[in-house]
Amino acid sequence: MRKSSKNVSTRQVIYIVGEGLTELYYFSHLKKLLGYRYSISPRFFDNNSIEKIEKKLNVLLREDVIVICVFDADVSRRSAIEKKKMTAFKRKYEKNSNVILCDSLQSIEYWFLLHYEDTCRYFQDAATTERALKVYIPTYAKTRKFLEKASWVRNMIADDKMITACELAEKYQGRDSYSEIYKAIKKVSIRKND
């Protein structure tokens, strides 16, 4: 007699692709601290340009996966050529349901700042944003030594600060300073509860 098999639904895997160490460590710590389900690997974060991110994205999209792309938009303010590339990249993938674009202007540090401060003021560059963040995380540094410790992320998400950051980021979409990382947080939070 044949056993009846259960109808098992498979989940679509989420991959996170990004620019560098800060994004890699931030999302690695979130995964461990909050139990989020996604695939994250250093090989997906050796990208320092839209072209390299797009290459990784296209390789991953050959499978039935969701790809979250995390990158800084500050280069688009400094160079007309880079702005054109970024605009084309965003336009190409904005309607792809398997791609979630999560850029931040000036940088991911603006996303971190939203955990502590309600602001959408103009930041001249990533360094200015980082200085504003250091008011709340004085030891913050974009170094492996600092980033590899989970405590900075643990402190940042304590007391529902990430919920506030998501609300503020959504409120300030398209402003002088913005971060789309809340889209990634919403997606992985939903997936955690599946």
pLDDT at 191 over 70: no
pLDDT at 158 over 80: yes
Q: Which comes out higher in pLDDT, residue 152 or 106?
A: 152
**Is pTM, for the whole model, over 0.75?**
yes
Q: Which comes out higher in pLDDT, residue 148 or 174?
A: 148
Query: What tens digit of pLDDT does each residue of 64-96 get?
Result: 899 999 998 887 777 888 889 889 999 999 999
pLDDT band at 43 (very low <50, low <70, confident <90, very high): confident
pLDDT at 6 over 60: no
Q: Of 3-7, 11-15, 28-32, 144-148, where does mean pLDDT reach its minimum?
A: 3-7
pLDDT for 77 equals 77
pLDDT at 26 over 90: yes
181 φψ region: left (φ > 0), alpha (ψ -120 to 50), beta (else): alpha
DSSP per position, the chain: -PPPPP-PPPPPEEEEEESSHHHHHHHHHHHHHH----B--GGGS---SHHHHHHHHHHHTTSSEEEEEEEE-THHHH-HHHHHHHHHHHHHHTT-TTEEEEEEES-HHHHHHTTT-------SSHHHHHHHHTTTSTT--SSHHHHT-THHHHHHHGGGHHHHHHHHHHHTTTSSSEE-HHHHHHHHHHHHT-
pLDDT for 47 equals 64
Share of the chain above pLDDT 90, in %: 69
Query: What's the rounded mean pLDDT across residues 156-181?
Result: 95
Q: Which comes out higher in pLDDT, residue 64 or 23?
A: 23
Query: What tens digit of pLDDT does each residue of 118-155 get?
Result: 999 999 889 999 999 999 999 999 999 999 999 999 99
